Amino acid sequence: MDVTTWYLEQTAPADVRPGRAPDSPVDVVRAEHPSPEFGRFLYTAVGGDWQWTDRLPWTWREWMDWLSRPGVEVWVAWLRGTPAGYVELAAQDAGDVEIAYFGLLPYAIGRGLGGHLLATGAQRAWDLAERWPGLDKTRRVWVHTCSLDGPAALSNYKARGFRLYDTKVNAPGDEDEGTTPGPWPGAGPRG
């Protein structure tokens, strides 16, 4: 099966559109201390069912090096003291900021959190340089999603003010066909 990847962007802070209010009170807090253990937990807990595999082989040191980079931020949604999802921002050259990862833990899907978390993450991307002296002021926020991601991903990005600027179709490699890694190595998909 071919995989379609959509590339979307915002080009001004005014592009951000809020999501609906979550069903329950949610706190979105920046994880200010680089923690490879927590970063890997979020990555696998959110992405395990959606073919997020590129970081599975990363060592502790690779996680630490990435999370310690100037302009990399992890913003976590907390629902009644429990992580519900996250958005990872990554500053790039010339004021570009990528939403590198975004998503919810399975228990949090369908509770009205996704739009709220994505809008908050986009707002934090627009003011990223204020927290990182020496970085260029944000001029563009971009993200990509694909047909292997959650079924609401593309529509959520568009609803938050992201505009499509490119689409690519690729055949996945054999390793991507039919299985997901689940929330931790060896766990397999839930179902």
Is it the case that residue 95 has pLDDT exceeding 80? yes
Does any domain span residue 152? no
pLDDT in tens, 48-73: 888 888 999 999 999 999 999 999 99
Confidence class for position 112, pLDDT limits 50, 70, 90 = confident
Does any domain span residue 156? no
Residue with tokens 């890997």, as numbered in its chain? 40
What is the percent of the chain where pLDDT is above 90?
A: 73
Does any domain span residue 29? yes
Is it the case that residue 2 has pLDDT exceeding 90? no
Does any domain span residue 78? yes
Q: How far apart are CA 38 and CA 33, in angstroms?
A: 10
Is it the case that residue 100 has pLDDT exceeding 80? yes
**Domain extent for 44:** 20-142
Q: How far apart are CA 26 and CA 82, in angstroms?
A: 10
If you average pLDDT over residues 116-120, what whole number do you get? 96
If you average pLDDT over residues 90-95, what whole number do you get? 96
Residue 34 belongs to a domain with what CATH number? 3.40.630.30
C-alpha distances out from residue 98 to 2, 47, 107, 108, 183, Å: 24, 17, 26, 23, 24
Does any domain span residue 60? yes
Does any domain span residue 106? yes
User: Can you read off the two tokens belonging to residue 187?
Assistant: 């766990």
Q: How far apart are CA 75 and CA 162, in angstroms?
A: 19
If you average pLDDT over residues 18-38, what whole number do you get? 93
Does any domain span residue 8? no
Does any domain span residue 55? yes
Domain count across the chain: 1
